[in-house]
Structure 1
Amino acid sequence: CPQRDSSSPKFILLGITETPWAQAPLFGLFLLIYIVTLVGNIGLMVLVWVAPSLHTPMYFFLTHFSLADVCYSTVISPKMLTDLLFGDKTISWAGCMTQFHLFALFVTAECHLLAAMAYDRHVAICHPLSYVLVVSPRACWQLVAWCYLVASLSALLYTGCTFGGSFCGPRRVDHFFCDASPVLRLACSDTRGCEAAIFALATANGLGTSLVILLSYGRILHAVLGMSSAPSRARAFRTCASHLASMSVFYGSLFFMYLQPASRHGSRDKVASVFYTVVSPMLNPFIYSLRNKEVKAALERCRRRVLNLCRHQRGAARGIRESWNGLGWKGP
């Protein structure tokens, strides 16, 4: 093993690519994606908050899902953008550990929130008469609290396994953020136990939540096939297909990253990571919300409310100017 490097408690993130001419185009692309992610997810949260028609369990879960998207995208994207723009790719040991911990927390929370959302849709479609009792406001808060509790405990274990050993120099992380596999490759000590623990925990969180999702949507599809109305079946199929497509991108890239032996990790990990850290948070508001008629109706009502408020303010300003003119004053 190389001699342990204790002179500088820093890591160097090699980034997505080291090609100089690709830095500026990638910066512009990822900056645009990050802005769309923030606008889409924060806009959805604000819309659910101000629109009484969206105060339902489904949109309650969606707001927390959007919050998780914003948080773990913000943990990754700003550092990646500054590295692409300025070229200073160093990150402190504490910053690297904090970045990975927050990333693991919000990604794990998102997995469990997806399972909670699938359960909510299962009860709504398969057991509509008992939906109000089963998915009560108290039950919604309990499910969300459980998601964050499991995510917090999992993130502590992930972080302890990843950063609990000693590291050898040079600390060059072959990734665009501090992830478990590239960081563990820099460790001086034997990491097989840590890798096995991370693999087992990722399997429990990933496969456990995906199993809940698949079973829920399987029951939903079975119930939809029994519907007598063709338009209702088509609408339900479209909803299920869009949700499953989003989850396939998210879970597929996660499984590729964390449910394979450490020896098989390579340059393709960066491509898979881009999908669940950058692309998926941008697409989720469009897939889960903006294709929904209830969200479109709420947006239209908010637009009309804003237009009426602007007209009222212009009318008030016009009245004030006319009063000034009548008194012989020169208004603005």
Structure 2
Amino acid sequence: MVLNISQITEFTLLGFPLPTNIKVIVFTLVLMSYVITLAANFLIITVVRKNSCLYTPMYIFLSNFSLMEIGCTTVIVPKMLADLLSVQSNISFYECIIQFYLISLSGCMANILLAMMGYDRYLSICHPLRYTSIMTHNLCYTMTLTSWITSSLMPLLPTIFVSKLYFCRKKVIDHFFCDFGSLVKLSCSDSTLAMKCFFGQAWIIILTCFSATIISYLFIISTILKIQTNNGREKAFSTCVSHLSVVGIFYGAIIFMYVRPSANTSSYDKIVSVFYSVVTPLLNPIIYSLRNKNIKTALKILFIKERPL
């Protein structure tokens, strides 16, 4: 028996089925968050590029993290904003696949960079005398380049598998972007291989990077506890706790979304997705960079130089 399957060419993103007045409020809040996120991250990249004193591994990682966040939010949020003002939101099959790939790339990059930044902080705090000999510029650039290459290659296979699925019945995606679970749920072909590939990679990258990040911060906390002065210990703890809060929000969201044995979607998926696509990109530049003393000093110097006489 031969099935007459006709592949659909367009999806409808359900997004947030809210009353119009609530949609306007959500639109305003998301737009403000997006503008602040872009401005803060572009500012960080500009400051790091224009200040030679910030050509250190820590700030190189931070500027790459900012670049990743600009890309991640731009892939998701503008479409989300347009959909909030639309009666019905459509996205073509190929646009959906490209969005899925870019979101996967950004997620992979975020995991790797968080682990690298945790390791950098570990070396800086736990081995300050050996830091410059271990974390050289060559090693930093190699790690950064490796993270971009790895993040670009890892989503390729899951994306190819998803693109080969047939979507011949329902075409409404119960999400505000092309998420893996929502896409697989709509497919009318065998998605076993796609699920094994996607979730296998998700488990490896998320759990490996999460473990590396947590281990780094455990060593950092252990070292901080040995600091003799209360002021020094409190200042170090304040920075460490703020960093861990961002790590906690990010990993809490993606572990809930992707480290599970099936593609079954939950009614909370969209709410959780807002945290790692809107909230964490807003918090990260504030906590990781704009609270940093050297960044604030570099900002003052930059504004003084740019201010007309």
Provide the residue aligned with 1:36 in structure 2: 36
Counterpart CA distance in 1 for 2:95 and 2:262 is 24
Could you tell which deviates more after superposition, 16-25 or 264-273?
16-25
Provide the residue aligned with 2:177 in structure 1: 177
Aligned partners of 1:5 and 1:169 also within 8 Å: no
Q: TM-score, normalised by structure 2?
A: 0.95
| Distance verdict in 2 for CA 1:3–1:279, change over 3 Å | farther
Please state how far the C-alpha of 1:158 moved relative to its aligned partner: 2.5
Provide the residue aligned with 1:167 in structure 2: 167
Matching of residues 256-271 of structure 1 within 5 Å: 256-262=256-262, 264-271=264-271
3-state SS of 1:185 partner: helix
Provide the residue aligned with 2:213 in structure 1: 213
Q: Does 1:284 align with 2:284?
A: yes
Q: Which amino acid aligns with 1:286?
A: I
Please state how far the C-alpha of 1:278 moved relative to its aligned partner: 1.0
Counterpart CA distance in 2 for 1:301 and 1:20 is 45
Provide the residue aligned with 1:231 in structure 2: 231
Please state how far the C-alpha of 1:157 moved relative to its aligned partner: 2.2
Counterpart CA distance in 1 for 2:4 and 2:89 is 23
Q: Which amino acid aligns with 2:47?
A: L
Aligned partners of 2:224 and 2:236 also within 8 Å: yes
Q: Which amino acid aligns with 1:66?
A: S
Aligned partners of 1:14 and 1:175 also within 8 Å: yes
Aligned partners of 1:4 and 1:169 also within 8 Å: no
3-state SS of 2:178 partner: coil
Aligned partners of 1:104 and 1:158 also within 8 Å: no
Please state how far the C-alpha of 1:18 moved relative to its aligned partner: 4.7
Q: TM-score, normalised by structure 1?
A: 0.88
* Residue-by-residue CA offset, 1:191-223 (whole Å, 9 max, x unaligned): 233223222111100000011101111111111
- RMSD between superposed Cα atoms in Å: 1.6
Provide the residue aligned with 1:254 in structure 2: 254
Counterpart CA distance in 2 for 1:18 and 1:163 is 31
Q: Does 1:141 align with 2:141?
A: yes
3-state SS of 2:160 partner: helix
Q: Does 1:198 align with 2:218?
A: no
* Residue-by-residue CA offset, 1:98-145 (whole Å, 9 max, x unaligned): 011011101111110111101111111111112112111110111111
Provide the residue aligned with 2:64 in structure 1: 64
Provide the residue aligned with 2:152 in structure 1: 152
Could you tell which deviates more after superposition, 272-281 or 126-135?
126-135
| Distance verdict in 2 for CA 1:158–1:210, change over 3 Å | same
Counterpart CA distance in 2 for 1:141 and 1:287 is 23
Q: Does 1:306 align with 2:306?
A: yes
Counterpart CA distance in 2 for 1:37 and 1:48 is 17
Q: What is the number of residues matched between the two proteins?
A: 307
Counterpart CA distance in 1 for 2:95 and 2:273 is 19
Q: Does 1:126 align with 2:126?
A: yes
Provide the residue aligned with 1:78 in structure 2: 78
Q: Which amino acid aligns with 1:255?
A: I
Q: Which amino acid aligns with 1:216?
A: S
Counterpart CA distance in 2 for 1:300 and 1:107 is 32
Counterpart CA distance in 2 for 1:128 and 1:208 is 25
Counterpart CA distance in 1 for 2:4 and 2:23 is 33
| Distance verdict in 2 for CA 1:32–1:4, change over 3 Å | farther
Q: Which amino acid aligns with 1:12?
A: T
* Residue-by-residue CA offset, 1:246-277 (whole Å, 9 max, x unaligned): 01001100000011243652220000100001
Provide the residue aligned with 1:317 in structure 2: none
Counterpart CA distance in 1 for 2:111 and 2:158 is 15
Please state how far the C-alpha of 1:88 moved relative to its aligned partner: 4.1
Unmatched 5+ residue regions in structure 1?
312-332
Counterpart CA distance in 2 for 1:222 and 1:258 is 31
3-state SS of 2:166 partner: coil
| Distance verdict in 2 for CA 1:263–1:200, change over 3 Å | closer
Unmatched 5+ residue regions in structure 2?
none
